[in-house]
Amino acid sequence: PRATVTASSLLLYSSKDAGATFQLIDSELMAAYTLAATTAIPETSFGNISQDTPLRLQAGEQLYVGSQVALAAGIQFRSEGGDF
C-alpha cells in the first residue's frame, strides 16, 4: 500500500482477450497498515505463486490486479517474467 490502509482483499486475474474477460487466479489478504516514517511498508505475496510454483502464462495472456477496497494513494504491484 502507498498509504494507510484497512485490511482488504487483493485479487489476481488473467485475461486471454486483452481485458474483455477475466479469470480469477488468486487472492490474498493485505493486512491493515498505518503509514509512518518509522515503519516498514509490508509486502503481500500471492502464496500460490513462487519460484518453486511459478505462474505460466500463454502467449498474449495478460495479468490484472485489483483491490476490493479503494485506496486513493494506490497499491503498488510487482511481477517478474521470463521466456521459457
Query: CA 20, CA 14: separation in Å to the nearest integer?
Result: 11
**Is residue 65 over pLDDT 80?**
yes
pLDDT one-digit tens code per residue, 13-22:
999 999 999 9
Task: With cut-offs at 50, 70 and 90, classify the pLDDT of residue 82.
Answer: confident
Convert the pLDDT of each residue in 36-54 to its tens digit.
999 999 999 999 999 899 9
pTM of the model: 0.86
Beta carbons within 10 angstroms of residue 5's beta carbon:
19
Q: Decide: residue 39, CB within 10 A, 0-12 exposed, 13-18 middle, 19+ buried.
A: exposed
Most distant CA pair in the chain, distance: 43
Q: Of 34, 31, 28, whose CA–CA distance to 9 is shortest?
A: 28
- Helix, strand, coil abundance in the chain, percent, nearest 5: 0, 30, 70
Reading the block at residue 64, the C-alpha cell is 490484472
